[in-house]
Amino acid sequence: MALDSKIPDGPIADKWTKYKFGLKLVNPSNKRKYDIIVVGTGLAGAAAAASLAELGYNVKAFTYHDSPRRAHSIAAQGGINAAKNYQNDGDSVYRLFYDTVKGGDYRAREANVHRLAEVSVNIIDQCVAQGVPFAREYGGLLSNRSFGGTQVSRTFYARGQTGQQLLLGAYSAMSRQVAAGKVKLYTRTEMLDLVVEDGKARGIVTRNLITGKIESHSGHAVLLCTGGYGNVFYLSTNAMACNVTAAWRAHKKGAYFANPCFTQIHPTCIPVSGEYQSKLTLMSESLRNDGRIWVPLKAGDSRPPADIPEDERDYFLERKYPSFGNLVPRDVASRNAKYVCDEGRGVGSSKLAVYMDFADAIKRDSQKTIEARYGNLFEMYEKITGEDPYTSPMRIYPAVHYTMGGLWVDYNLMTTVKGLYALGEANFSDHGANRLGASALMQGLADGYFVIPYTLGDYLATIGHQDKISPEHAAFKESEAIVTERINKLLSINGKFTVDEIHRKLGLVIWDYCGMSRSAEGLTKAKKMVQELKHQFWTDVKVVGTNEELNITLEKALRVADFIELGELMIDDALNRNESCGGHFREESEVDGEAKRDDENYSYVAAWEYTGENQPESLHKEQLTFEYAKPSQRSYK
Amino acid sequence: MNLNLHIWRQKNKDTKGKMVSYQVNDINEEMSFLEMLDVLNEDLLRKGDDPVAFDHDCREGICGACSMVINGRPHGPTRTTTCQLHMRYFNSGDNVYIEPWRAGSFPVLKDLTVDRSAFDRIIQAGGFVSVNTGSAPDANEIPIGKEIADEAFNSATCIGCGACVAACKNASASLFVSAKISQLAMLPQGAAERKRRAESMIAQMDAEGFGACTNTGACAAECPKSIDLTNIAQMNREFIGAKLTSELV
Ligand SMILES: Cc1cc2nc3c(=O)[nH]c(=O)nc-3n(C[C@H](O)[C@H](O)[C@H](O)COP(=O)(O)OP(=O)(O)OC[C@H]3O[C@@H](n4cnc5c(N)ncnc54)[C@H](O)[C@@H]3O)c2cc1C
Ligand code: SF4
Ligand code: FES
């Protein structure tokens, strides 16, 4: 199938407005005849469920959590961007658009990004109206900060808990619709398959996580708002249960998966302290505004940091990138931390860490000022490590944080399966090869509040309300049988390896060969290793208990099985893209250690089509054109 | 370090549970409490036994999923969430008693996992501002003093974990409910519905079977997010205000 991105014609600033006018509308009294399935109730899902219910559609919303308030979105710290230009510092919709396309290293679609920047201003209005307590100035107006090295202050925040406050806002809006009877909420219910019939998404098959019951739910459209796949790496800053299953099942039913190798590695996380480590904790990007990053000049120097004199320290980011210094983009900061550790200059017991030092900032601005800025982050660091960052530097190391890749969607957010949409981190759309800080919250809410309520109506009006099948239809029964068979298979293997053991091995392979630095040789090796792990999993994994109970091992096993397959596709994608762009660094494509993008050959979205069990996936290319933000090689020197 | 764990095991909602003892060895003091339980679960799995089920997700103190009573205290000996408790607070040879939240309105689903959907239903009863998507005025149209915004934020940091209920001898949900009522009552955006909100959220709290508040303060003492008791006072004022006017009409 040829990819049609459905980008509207016309000047970029008018595209969305004109397009909205051309979309078909569903008559208000007909909206209640449509059933919409929303999988995932994080920022994207809760926003979509609430907004669609307000319009009058019947929404069924699903989450594997015990409450929508637990979604991974809750953990976002830093803030949310919006082109309000409240600070009068030269921001505009166009500048946010431009920064996002450039930050994504020219691998995102211009039209989508411009729309995102346009609706960003409405998001802030909506959230404030819901009672989201953003930070304010003494005069009572909203406060902003600059985030991730941007030149303007456009980030809105609620202390270090922006994601929490935004999610609770969306959750409250959805709760209001639950009370109104327009949203039916299914908690502790996991989608395990997508049902496609006559080329259209018809519904989903779920497992009740308490009773194990397998059930079918049918609707006129299915929205996947199921988050990112960073946990393919086992260790990441994502919540423990984040997984790719919903997206992967949809992929196997015809939804193309775009740019799977585009993953973001965040430079400032608390380093791994041992084998038992279950997840990694992010230290907000904002710390780099005041923290100076360094390692000892000499390899193997294991003196405590205070004993290392100034002239025996290497402030490597300031040295290599004098104009941006410690504020270089995430991918550049991460890669350089890896390089100095590879040279044997890492610090701490694992030697896989660098220092982030606040001594100079405290001397300059006083401890009180630093405390007011980062108090809660310093406290969190101390809780986890038992060390006091006011008196000795923090130890940090990069960790997987976000996935730019995801299900391919057109301008309507529709995947390559009709009636199946992907919103939020689950789609690939707006961040190209690298996401700027504070832009994921913006995108999730833009998709849910302000894009899907318009674009979905066009599809529904086209198909009509009678175009729906019953959950008793053979297509659902077939899907239920496949899900049940898969579960029974997992329960019957009774091998020697625990699910976590295999997952940890998978994570290491992906981290080592498809992480911060990638090469054809390494990737080829990794592909074989992942295939071996797949075999090991399906012949030698140990899953105890039964289906008909709360079974935490079975839940994990179903997710890890899909991560393994995704891992292989990530490797294929990374192998195919023989250029360095954004978070994807190919060792074959560099100049003086810096990434070299290849616009001539790789200015496209790589969308992968599933072609059958153990078959190579086939690649479809969506060519990208840049009419406004003209590609230039990034330089931070 | 080596520890003697005593853990509540209960197959499902309908069966009776009991405390079961396990030994874990070579626990590193840098581990989090949940990582220590991961070690136990891997051991159990290798033996073919059922691992201990417990709720958790973010493991950084913000999602509110983790929920264990450790040696008699919700979330254990420090004022954090269970996931942020580290093993450096324990000594080799300690006996550690681990139980689920105990409250009639939070039925045990399995082992340490309880059903907290009552909290969702209380929010559904009125924990929102009635504003449809797209109908909001400009965000800076209504200035809100920094002090008020900060106070509202303090109430809004509640993570819905339920430790307050587990700590209370009456199993009252007052701290949780009052945090939301106060947050929205303080903000101009929430003002229009404040009376209705207080009445219906409190009615739902009662309908869910949570106990009455007798001001012992146990909830605030164990709350990992330092939600203050003044929220409960504010809730009572809102409620009385609402009742007074309700009777007038
Ligand atoms: C530590 C951290 C800090 C961050 N800070 C920022 C920040 O400051 N600014 C910013 O812009 N971004 C930040 N991000 C990124 C941002 O938080 C996420 O990208 C965003 O919240 C994702 O939202 P979402 O709605 O797409 O998915 P999620 O919030 O992950 O929600 C996914 C939902 O899908 C459900 N689900 C998934 N699969 C299934 C299934 N099979 N069946 C049923 N339900 C399912 C889950 O239960 C959940 O409800 C941060 C991320 C991390 C890890
Ligand atoms: S008030 Fe405190 S203890 Fe109670 S649910 Fe909220 S955060 Fe948890
Ligand atoms: S696991 Fe999220 S708060 Fe403890």
Mind listing the pLDDT tens digit for each residue in A563-577? 999 999 999 999 999
Domain boundaries of chain B, sorted by first residue: 3-110, 117-244
A601 in B contact zone (CB under 8 Å): no
User: Is B51 in contact with A54 (Cβ distance < 8 A)?
Assistant: no
Q: Which of B75, B83, B101 to mutate to test the pocket of ligand 3 (most atoms within 8 A of CB)?
A: B83
- Identify the CATH number of the domain in which residue A166 sits: 3.50.50.60
Give the Cα separation of B172 and A434 in Å (integer): 47
Helices A43-55, A452-463: crossing angle, 10 deg rounding: 60
Q: Which residues pair with B114 in a beta bridge?
A: B108
Instruction: Say how far residue A473 (Cα) sits from the centre of its chain.
Output: 34
Whether residue A371 sits in one domain with residue A243:
no
Q: Tell me the shortest Cα–Cα distance from A105 to chain B, in angstroms.
A: 30
Q: CA geometry: angle at A258 spanning A256 and A260, to 5°?
A: 120
- Tokens 């009991």 belong to B18
For A423-443, letters b (16+ CB in 10 Å) and e give bbbbbbbbbbbbbbbbbbbbb
Closest of A625, A532, A523 to residue A576, by C-alpha = A523
Residue A139 to residue B34, Cβ atoms within 8 A:
no
A230 CB within 8 Å of a chain B CB: no
Residue numbers of A annotated as active site: 330
Phi, psi of A36 (to 5 degrees): -115, 130
Task: Find the range with the poorest average confidence among A154-163, A242-251, B6-15.
Answer: A154-163
CA distance A105 to A116: 17
Mean pLDDT, residues A336-341: 95
Q: Is the CB of A160 under 6 A from ligand 1?
A: no
Q: Is the CB of B65 under 6 A from ligand 3?
A: yes
Of A131, A165, A386, the CB nearest to B187: A131
Alpha helix stretches (DSSP H) within A268-329:
316-320
Using pLDDT thresholds of 50, 70 and 90, give the confidence band for residue A284: confident
B189 to A161: CB separation less than 8 angstroms, yes or no: no
Q: pLDDT, tens digit, for every residue of B11-60? A: 999 999 999 999 999 999 999 999 999 999 999 999 999 999 999 999 99
Any domain includes A6? no
Same domain for A424 and A329: no
Those residues with Cβ within 8 angstroms of residue A613's Cβ, 6 or more apart along the chain or in another chain: none
- For residue A545, list chain B residues with Cβ-Cβ distance below 8 A: 50
Spatial CB neighbours of A591, under 8 Å, sequence gap ≥ 6: none
| Ligand 1 atom 38, closest CA | A226
- Between CA A533 and CA A564 the distance in angstroms is 8
Helix, strand or coil, per DSSP, at residue A595:
strand
- Strands of A214-218's sheet, edge to edge? A189-197, A200-208, A214-218
Burial label for B180, CB within 10 Å (0-12, 13-18, 19+), is buried
- What is the number of CB-based contacts under 8 A between chain A and chain B? 215
Same domain assignment for residues A374 and A411: no
Give the pLDDT mean for A519-534.
Answer: 98
Determine, yes or no, domain membership for A479.
Answer: no
**pLDDT value at B247 more than 50:** no
Residue in B151, B170, B154, B173 with CA at minimum distance from that of residue B162 = B173
- Residue type, position A429, single letter: S
Does the pLDDT value for residue A429 go beyond 80? yes
Give B-chain residues touching A445 at CB under 8 angstroms: none
Question: Which helix (H) or strand (E) covers residue A513, if one does?
Answer: helix A499-513
Any idea which residue has 């997992």 for tokens? A490
Residue type, B205: M
Contacts with A541 from chain B: Cβ below 8 Å: none
Contact: B153, A552; criterion CB under 8 Å? no
Residue A383, pLDDT > 90, answer no
Give, in degrees to the nearest 5, the angle at Cα A284 between A279 and A290. Answer: 140
Nearest to B62 by CA among A30, A239, A44, A496: A239
Contacting residues for A400 by C-beta, under 8 A, at least 6 apart: A230, A233, A235, A236, A237, A238, A263, A264, A265, A266, A280, A511, A515
Is B116's C-beta closer than 6 angstroms to any atom of ligand 2? Answer: no
Q: Which residues of A touch B159 (CB under 8 A)?
A: 164
CA distance A611 to chain B (A): 34
> Is A373's pLDDT higher than 90?
no
Residue A193, beta-bridge partner list: A205
Candidate from A36-40, A63-67, A348-352, A376-380 with smallest mean pLDDT: A376-380
Report the first-to-last Cα separation within chain B, whole angstroms: 66
Same domain, A126 and A137: yes
Q: Is A544 on the interface with B (CB under 8 A)?
A: yes
Where is the domain boundary, A356, A374, A401? A401
Does A369 share its domain with A410?
no
Tokens of A325: 């210094």
- Give yes or no: residues A41 and A169 share one domain: yes
Cβ-contact A109, A97 below 8 angstroms = no
Structure tokens at B177: 């409910």
Do the Cβ atoms of B149 and A544 come within 8 Å? Answer: no
- Pairwise CA distance, residues A190 & A171, whole Å: 19
Same domain? For A158 and A275 the reply is no
Cβ contact, residue pair A383, B110, below 8 Å: no
Is A136 close to B84, i.e. CB distance below 8 A? no
Q: Ligand 2 within 6 A of B181 CB?
A: no
Does residue A290 register a pLDDT over 50? yes
CA-based diameter of chain B, in Å?
Answer: 67
Ligand 2 pocket, residue B7 CB under 6 Å: no
CATH superfamily of B117-244: Alpha-helical ferredoxin (1.10.1060.10)
Contact A142 B140 (CB under 8 A): yes
Average pLDDT over residues A408-428: 98
Inter-residue contact A422 to A415 (CB < 8 Å): yes
* Ligand 2 pocket residue status of B168, Cβ below 6 Å: no
Strands A604-609 and A263-269: unpaired
CATH code, domain with A558? 1.20.58.100
CB nearest B156 (choices: A86, A168, A385): A168
Substitution target in A73, A157, A166, A176 with the highest count of B β-carbons within 10 Å is A176
Mean pLDDT along residues A262-286: 92
**Residue with CA nearest ligand 1 atom 24:** A227
pLDDT attached to residue A159: 87
Dist CA A384 CA A110 (whole Å) = 41
Domain encompassing residue A305: 265-401
Instruction: Tell how far the Cα of B174 is from the centroid of ligand 2, in angstroms.
Output: 10
Residue A30 falls inside a structural domain? yes
Specify the pLDDT at position B81.
97
Q: Rounded to a whole number, what is the distance in Å from the CA of A210 to chain B's nearest CA?
A: 7
- Rounded to whole angstroms, how far apart are CA atoms A138 and A381? 29
CB-CB under 8 Å, B80 with A50:
no
Confidence grade of residue B242 (pLDDT, cut at 50, 70, 90): confident
Supply the Cα-derived Rg of chain A in whole angstroms. Answer: 24
Query: Which residues in chain A have Cβ-Cβ distances shorter than 8 Å to B38?
Result: 276, 278, 500
Say whether both A114 and A239 belong to one domain.
yes
Q: Which of A347, A368, A401 is the last residue of a domain?
A: A401
* Residue A158 in contact with partner chain B when CB distance is under 8 A: yes
At residue B246, the pLDDT reads 64
Cβ(A403) – ligand 1 distance below 6 Å: no
Q: How far is B188 from chain A (nearest CA, A)?
A: 8
Q: Does one domain contain both A239 and A269?
A: no
Measured distance CA(A606)–CA(A620) in Å, rounded:
6
Q: Report CA-CA distances (Å) from A34 to A26, A52, A202, A308, A463.
A: 10, 11, 12, 67, 11
A450 contacts chain B (CB < 8 A):
yes
Structure tokens at A210: 């308490």
Indicate whether B249 pLDDT > 60.
no
pTM for the full model? 0.97
Q: CA angle B190-B162-B174, nearest 5°?
A: 50
> Of the ranges A150-154, B180-184, B221-225, which one carries the lowest mean pLDDT score?
A150-154
Are A520 and A535 part of one and the same domain?
yes
% of chain A with per-residue pLDDT over 90: 91
Nearest to A337 by CA among A269, A287, A247, A258: A269
Residue A362 pLDDT > 50, yes or no?
Answer: yes
As a 3-state breakdown, chain B gives helix, strand, coil percent values, each rounded to 5, of 40, 10, 50
**Confidence at residue A151, expressed as pLDDT on a 0 to 100 scale:** 85
A203, A281: one domain? no
Which residue blocks in A305-451 are alpha helix, DSSP H? 316-320, 330-342, 359-365, 367-385, 440-445
Annotate A594-613 with b (16+ C-beta within 10 A) or e (fewer).
Answer: bbebebeebbbbbbbbbeee
pLDDT tens digits for A74-129? Answer: 999 889 999 999 999 999 999 999 999 999 999 999 999 999 999 999 999 999 99
Considering only CB atoms, which chain B residues are within 8 Å of A274?
28, 30-31
Q: How many residues in total does chain B contain?
A: 249
CA distance A523 to A2: 28
Task: Give me chain B's average pLDDT, please.
Answer: 96
Q: Which of helix, strand or coil describes residue A529? A: helix
Written out in words, the top-level CATH class of the domain with range B3-110 is alpha beta
The single-letter DSSP state of residue A451 is: I
**B244 pLDDT above the threshold of 90:** no
Number of independent structural domains in chain A = 3
Q: Are residues A111 and A217 in the same domain?
A: yes
**B87 Cα–ligand 3 center, Å:** 16
Enumerate the residues of chain B whose CB falls inside 8 A of the CB of residue A501.
Answer: 42
